[in-house]
Structure 1
């Protein structure tokens, strides 16, 4: 049996939705628990499929992990195992974030090459080169990343691209290395800042979070902590775009609106009234959205994770929009599914040109990744009839209580099983 969504279009979204902890942060914070013996507690965890998957990875490394409501308790042994099991790791990309902590704690790591979303090439070259500069040997052997070090020492490391994953792995390895490490051209995402804050709570000495230069003074030992995950800006923005597409009125709570500066500006350009609030923001779209151009870039640019939502908005906007994908080359697979729904779209290299139509047409469509799945549901909300969205397990990996939240805003959606 597999499940799919039935999404019936035509309803204006109205109401309030609460956003949980950030998927792109919680999994890395769970991995950081490997750096300290004892019990680390991570709160405000989202109820998504990837959290228990990461718990399985950590259990395979010798940790005891308890999941209860929005809290995860991770008890790390004095000597964690260093081999991350293939069956657990292959299911999602973020599992590779155990590489840095394992090298730091065990001085050795064997991590199966991870799986995850089909959005393009995401090699581990920068992860490995950073670990080598810290004193580790690292190779790909039999489908695994193998890293080993007799000693880790500080280094000056410049990333060729501000990769989030490479920044995280190098950062978590460097906190227990001798001396000072400087990471230039580091990723600046709020989730990186969240990780830096948790590491400092554990006794690390990390400065520069949120800038392109991270400075780490190595320490001998870290201690467990209790840390609250920041709100998920991608989920929050998804609801904001949904309000604009459906000409709705939605208040989004549980997120720092400053983490979405450019995204909210784009919604204003589309004609929405956007009001920042203490714990979120409100989006009101009274008329048909206007066409807006988008170009994805590392933070603080427009997030690649929101590219499908940008395409969905453009598909029903008045005028012609150009979407430029600068991060993941395969994300435009989403456009093929949008064309099934009647979108007037064409792609050329890393550009997509979308001519907006008043209403999309319902059809069966398939999710290729988390964000594409959510984008297809949003498109179904502005299509005539009922749209079938298949492979929805992707959506469950990134959006907690997706059906309940959408229904709470007045959307018509049903989860059904199929042979």
Structure 2
């Protein structure tokens, strides 16, 4: 009796799964057509995972084909409602298409099916060591770090050049992901070696300055140092030193308006004009007893500004405007000749010479007063004394020259 019941249930299941057409012939049920409901993200970078959601994808990965333009994607997972793949390199903007057993899926994504790949984010290489740290043109130097390219032409190594500090490129001999060998080029001088990988500059490791010393340059002794500094900047205008012996050199050259140079002649920093410059070049430089370097910048007293570079912080800090309107000298507002020298006394008072060769004082409160009139300083009242230089000694005695 039990066998009969089981047989009847089985028959009901089998025959119930089939349909008959009008002629009474049994036909298989229709397969669900694939459809896309969403694609995310639509702006992936190479290496990102793209997810297609929808229905009717089946369960066999070999039955599914996803393409973007002419490139076929390699799928990483598939369910009846979700497909995933990793975007490879070289894919350009195009529509994404999905086919299941050669049946093209309908796209119901309201945002469309266009994929717009973003460029890959390049890792920032690091620069941790060099060996040897000194040598001459033609020597081979090994640079160590991370994120270098194994393709020689994708690595660029720049040395400081003798001609106005312009970089000279060394020939890369070998390259791995962590090491580059490079030949010291002719014309290189002592300075920081820069490594550029796929147009991305390597960052220096903490505590490592990246400086390579060129033995043949004569740096650090007598006239050799002077010659090097002379070649670092054209149209040098003013200079000062801090209490560590570093030299601050300024010029009318817009590209290299202010440099910080070590006692050995190594360029420690080229200040970007955006850090302090609004108009005109740095007209005066000086230092005080605390090791702070002061600078005055601008073409006239109506537009000039004073900044200071505090010891231990290379960023110029704005102090105040030197505005002619504040003191009633509007007749100077149209002047375009540069301001002249400046100095700071032991109390922190700032003295500067304007473009009419008058000496001005700015005290600790920011109050600005005329300290000397150029006409009063001249023994010949028919002409003024053109003050061009000012310095203050440790006893706060002021010396001027013109």
Whether these two folds match at TM > 0.5 is: no
Which TM bucket (shorter chain)?
Answer: under 0.3
Structure whose CA Rg is larger: 2
Q: Where is the helix percentage greater, Structure 1 or Structure 2? A: 1
Larger relative contact order (C-alpha < 8 A, sep ≥ 6)? 1
Using the size of structure 1 for normalisation, the TM-score is 0.21
